[in-house]
Amino acid sequence: MLKPTFLALVLGFLFLQEVPAQTLSLDYYLEQGLKNSPLLKDYTNQVQSGRNDSLLVLCGYKPQVGITSQVLAAPASDHFGYDEAITNGGNYSALIGVKQSLINKNVRSAQLQSIELIQQSLNVNRKITETDLKKNITFQYITSYADYSQLQFIRKVIEMLTEQKKLMKYLVESGIYQQTDLMNLAVTIKAQEISRKLMIMQFKNDLALLNLFCGIVDTTTVELSKPEIRLINRFDISSSPVMLQSRIDSLKNSNSRTLVDLSYRPKLDAFADAGFLAIKPLNIPNNFGTSFGLNFSLPIYDGKQRFQQYKKLDIAENSRIIYRDFYTRQYRQQYNQLTEQLHLADELISDIKNQLSQQEELIDLYKTEIEKGLVRITDFMVIINNYSATQNSLSIAEMNRLQLINQLNHLK
């Protein structure tokens, strides 16, 4: 058996081993963001509540049954009490009544249509919220990945300079280069390490903001996979959420006009009741009975309220058209502008990559000539700094390109 001391040392060694950071993707953050969003959950609950509203409307058009009961005593004497001709001296009743609305098919349909349009509007708002959330999460992921990518590059530069430092130390000892050249290289490495620490802080801050958007409670450092974002928007303005909402608003205005018209139609209700109604308790056994009938109503004049309601709906429809036309122009302008910027970004990235390729070839040549002592180390440092600047430009250009695609994909 293993001795306890040796076993503790083994376990301690295992715990001290560096655990590789978890690699997460854009899809992971999108999934978490959509799952944790309280606003999306609220829209889901509102849609479910809307289904109950439809059932409530249907229930309201079924026979309504209720019980009414009253016990009224009105004592009277020669000089005190209400007139018995009015009060009958008392009132004792217990009735069960039934009421059923007639001629209600059109009104019921219009009310159900109104609820259905609210449901559709909620679904569109949910889609708009989901689009905005995806856009924001993708934006922050791209920003975080740009930090992560730049951090990886800085590490690569530090490793390359560290290898050169080992070679330079040997060349200084051989008298090929001076001690100041070695110190210059060491200072450059230190500057890169400071840049690396700053980039680590920037990466952690942007990653924390990404977690905040997604509702993720996690402070551990992770690795990010390169986002594969392709242009998927078909740019059909008629299917955009905002245009869908505009059409729903038009239907709402039309349905509201229908409800106004229906409120001026004749109304007919049937009613019936059964029970007892007596003026004295002793008479109750002999006063059981029933009654039934119809209630009819028809508005004749309302002081031109109907006209004012029409006018209000016309104003709302006019506003809707104004917003729709403005949105159409805005959508097309955004699409043209973003498409042009994307084309320019592709050209810029191609140019930067060509420049990087040339700089890498130049760095390899300098490495060879440094081994032979043919170039100054300061010239090599200039090339490295230029290479770092070009790589940073590439990172920014690629990030901007992805952000442009993100905006186009979530154009609404």
Q: Kindly report, residue by residue over 38-51, the tens digit of the pLDDT.
A: 999 999 898 888 88
Largest CA distance in the chain: 138
336 in the same domain as 229: yes
Q: What is the pLDDT of residues 237-254, one digit of tens each?
A: 888 888 999 999 999 999
Residue 383 within any structural domain of the chain: yes
Residues 251 and 310 in one domain: yes
Per-residue pLDDT at 15 exceeds 70: no
Strands 223-224 and 90-102, by their bridges, are: unpaired
Pairing of strands 23-24, 223-224: parallel
**Residue 11, in any domain of the structure:** no
Last residue of a domain, one of 279, 298, 317: 298
224 and 334 belong to one structural domain: yes
Number of separate domains in the chain? 2
> Does residue 320 share a domain with residue 290?
no
Q: Are residues 148 and 273 in the same domain?
A: no
Same domain? 42 vs 98:
no
Q: Flag whether 145 is in a domain.
A: yes
Mean pLDDT of the chain: 86
CATH number for the domain spanning 31: value is: 1.20.1600.10
164-199 residue pLDDT tens: 888 888 888 888 888 888 888 889 899 999 999 999
pLDDT, residue 20, reads: 57
In a domain, residue 377? The reply is: yes
Of the candidates 248, 278, 298, which is a domain's last residue?
Answer: 298
pLDDT at 9: 44
pLDDT of residue 249: 93
Express each pLDDT in 61-104 by its tens digit.
788 888 988 888 888 777 777 767 777 778 888 889 888 888 77
Residue 213 and residue 259 share a domain:
yes
Q: Is residue 381 part of a domain?
A: yes
Domain that holds residue 285: 63-77+84-103+267-298
Report the CATH number that the domain containing residue 97 is assigned in CATH. Answer: 2.20.200
If asked whether residues 176 and 314 sit together in one domain, one would say yes
The residues, ordered by sequence, that sit 6+ positions from 259 with a Cβ below 8 Å of its Cβ are: 107, 110, 111, 114
pLDDT range class, residue 17, cuts 50, 70, 90: very low
92 and 111 assigned to the same domain: no
**Pairing of β 90-102 and β 23-24:** unpaired
Helix axes 377-409 and 179-214, enclosed angle (nearest 10) = 10
Cα 53 from Cα 112, distance rounded (Å): 9
Mark whether 275 and 334 lie in a shared domain.
no
Whether 385 maps to a domain, the answer reads yes
Q: Are residues 55 and 67 in the same domain?
A: no
Residue 320 is assigned to a structural domain of this protein: yes
Residue 157 lies in a domain: yes
Q: Nearest Cα to 90, choosing from 70, 111, 117, 104?
A: 70
Rounded (10°) angle between helices 105-173 and 377-409? 170
Residues 197 and 309 in one domain: yes
